[in-house]
Amino acid sequence: MTNGYEGNFDNLKQRCSQAGGQLASPQNAAENAAIQQIVVLYNKLVFLGINDIQTEGRFKYLNGENIVYSNWQTGEPNNDKGIEDCVEVYSSGKWNDKPCGEKRLIVCEF
């Protein structure tokens, strides 16, 4: 779910955690489609609970496990300028790696 809050990756992670959930981390196409619906409804891109902060190119969930599902846009992840460790979702449902300091819509899962 979302409450419309927008913030950087750390802000979003913290907010979901405080609410007793975690930043949405889709593990299959159905879960990704649910997040895509929110992106379309709010007309705002979201950050997922997935990043490659620890090891460049190895995207993981917040619990440190390697991702089992991805939906990258063609040509992504490209680690543009060497500073893209977070993952945003476009209205198409496709993913792009993006700097974690950007502000995106929150979507928590419980």
The answer to whether residue 56 forms part of the interface with ligand GN1 (CB under 6 A) is no
The answer to whether residue 92 forms part of the interface with ligand GN1 (CB under 6 A) is no
Give, in degrees to the nearest 5, the angle at Cα 55 between 50 and 56: 85
> Hey, which residues does 22 pair with through a beta bridge?
109
Integer-rounded Cα radius of gyration of the chain: 12
Q: Identify the three-state secondary structure at position 80.
A: helix
Contacting residue, 12, 84, 106, 108, with ligand GN1 by CB under 6 A: 84
The answer to whether residue 96 forms part of the interface with ligand GN1 (CB under 6 A) is yes
Contact set with ligand GN1 (CB under 6 A): 76, 78, 80, 84, 96-99
